[in-house]
């Protein structure tokens, strides 16, 4: 059981609006519209753009990162900075077309704080993740992907289990909603932070590649 379930007895205006839209892309647009207007946590105060996510509404694969960084905040699109470049390289190597998957994050607005007069990224707080989860839950409800791939420990802890341990549990399958399977691997930014030769980046890449192969094998099965 993942953290992406919700009490279906609850029905709020967002569900009604989603229900009025027939096609999946339209339903995702409704969710995106709400995300862009959302003020449910403090992150809206510092955002330039909210980043609801993008990609194919009928994709079998949904990729979930931690949250937008500076570039994503400026462009309103997920994974367009350095970590995005690394994700793109992984997708190219796996022969996955980026527009054919749906890419989003556990929080849709940049988490940042002022350090020496400059806004710096920070990890999202639990209250921010919880405030944003209904959007992710609904995106999963609309897309009903076969696989949800979490990038990094925070995504694993927000989607799979609050006690998720990336070192021990990456590459393992977990049960997701609507018959989906969830798997987590290291975040591209973590690989980048490890840097060059002798730093362990090569081992990390190997493990990420193994995890991606599992996803591909399952999706093609
Ligand atoms: N890191 C994330 O987790 N998500 C993005 O969109 C960009 C960087």
Considering its fold, how many domains does the chain have in total? 1
Residue 101, CB half-sphere, CA atoms under 13 Å: how many? 24
**Measured in angstroms, how far is the CA atom of residue 74 from the centroid of ligand 1?**
13
Please report the pLDDT score of residue 7 as a whole number: 64
Q: Residue 7 falls within a domain, yes or no?
A: no
Residue of 52, 67, 157 to mutate, ligand 1, most atoms within 8 A of C-beta? 67
Residue of 35, 52, 63, 68 to mutate, ligand 1, most atoms within 8 A of C-beta? 68
85: containing domain: 13-220
**Measured in angstroms, how far is the CA atom of residue 9 from the centroid of ligand 1?**
32
Q: Residue 5 falls within a domain, yes or no?
A: no
Please report the pLDDT score of residue 8 as a whole number: 61
Give the pLDDT confidence of 75-86 residue by residue, as tens digits.
999 999 999 999
Q: How confident is the model at residue 134 (pLDDT cuts 50, 70, 90)?
A: very high
**Measured in angstroms, how far is the CA atom of residue 15 from the centroid of ligand 1?**
27
**Mean pLDDT on 15-42:** 95
Residues 141, 24: Cα–Cα separation, whole Å: 10
pLDDT at 111 over 90: yes
Residues 137, 131: Cα–Cα separation, whole Å: 11
Provide the CATH number for the domain around residue 120.
3.40.470.10
Q: Residue 1 falls within a domain, yes or no?
A: no
């Amino acid at each position: 059981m993942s953290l992406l379930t919700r009490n279906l007895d609850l029905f709020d205006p967002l569900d009604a609006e989603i229900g009025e839209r027939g096609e999946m892309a339209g339903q995702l647009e409704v969710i995106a519209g709400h995300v862009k207007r959302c003020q449910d946590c403090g992150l809206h105060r510092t955002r330039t753009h909210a980043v609801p996510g993008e990609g194919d509404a009928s994709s079998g694969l949904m990729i979930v990162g931690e949250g937008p960084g500076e570039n994503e905040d400026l462009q309103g699109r997920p994974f367009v900075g350095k970590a995005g470049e690394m994700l793109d390289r992984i997708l190219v190597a796996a022969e996955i077309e980026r527009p054919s998957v749906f890419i989003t994050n556990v929080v849709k607005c940049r988490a940042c704080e002022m350090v020496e007069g400059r806004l710096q990224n920070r990890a999202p707080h639990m209250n921010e993740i919880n405030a944003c989860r209904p959007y992710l839950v609904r995106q999963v409800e609309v897309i009903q992907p076969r696989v949800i791939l979490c990038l990094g420990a925070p995504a694993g802890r927000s989607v799979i289990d609050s006690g998720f341990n990336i070192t021990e549990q990456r590459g393992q399958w977990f049960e997701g909603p609507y018959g989906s399977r969830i798997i987590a691997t290291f975040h591209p930014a973590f690989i980048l932070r490890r840097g060059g030769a002798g730093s362990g980046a090569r081992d990390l890449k190997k493990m990420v590649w193994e995890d991606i192969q599992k996803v591909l094998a399952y999706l093609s099965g």
